[in-house]
Amino acid sequence: MTEVKREVFGQMPRAEGGGVVEKFVLKSDSVKVEILSLGCIIAALETKGRDGEFSDVVLGFDTLEGYMREHPYFGATVGRVANRIAKGRFTVDGKEYQLFLNNGPNSLHGGARGFDKVLWSPQVLPNGVCFFRLSPDGEEGYPGDLKVWVTYTLSGGELAINYRAQTSKTTPINLTNHAYFNLAGQGSQDIYNHEISIEADSYLPVDETKIPTGEVAAVQGTSFDLRQPVELGKHLQKFHLDGFDHNFCLQQAQARRLVARARHPPSGRAMEVHTTQPGIQFYTGNNLDGSLRGKGAVAYPKHSAFCLETQNWPDAVNKPHFPSALLRPGEEYNHTTWLVFNAA
The answer to whether 142 is a known ligand-binding residue is no
The catalytically annotated residue of 71, 109, 178, 264 is 178
**303 is an active site residue:** no
Query: How far is 5 from 128, CA to CA, in rounded Å?
Result: 9
φ, ψ at 46 (rounded to 5°):
-100, 135
The answer to whether 315 is a known ligand-binding residue is no
To the nearest 10°, report the CA torsion of 182, 184, 187, 190: -70
Contacts of 313 (CB under 8 A, 6+ apart): 204, 212, 247, 249, 278, 279, 319, 322, 323, 325
How far is the CA of 196 from the CAs of 203, 271, 325, in angstroms?
16, 10, 28
Q: Which long-range contacts (CB under 8 A, 24 or more apart) does 3-6 make?
A: 3/27, 3/28, 4/124, 4/125, 4/126, 4/127, 4/128, 4/129, 6/122, 6/124, 6/129
What's the alpha-carbon Rg for the chain, to the nearest Å? Answer: 19
The catalytically annotated residue of 264, 303, 309, 335 is 309
The answer to whether 84 is a known ligand-binding residue is yes
Query: How far is 126 from 121, CA to CA, in rounded Å?
Result: 17
Q: Which residues pair with 148 in a beta bridge?
A: 133, 165
Which DSSP category does 33 fall into?
E
The answer to whether 293 is a known ligand-binding residue is no
Q: Which amino acid is at 234?
A: K
The answer to whether 83 is a known ligand-binding residue is yes
List the one residue out of 42, 69, 40 whose CA is nearest residue 56: 42
φ, ψ at 106 (rounded to 5°):
-120, 165
**178 is an active site residue:** yes
> Binding site for beta-D-galactose, residues?
83-84, 178-180, 245
Residues that constitute the known binding site? 83-84, 178-180, 245
Residues labelled as active-site residues: 178, 309
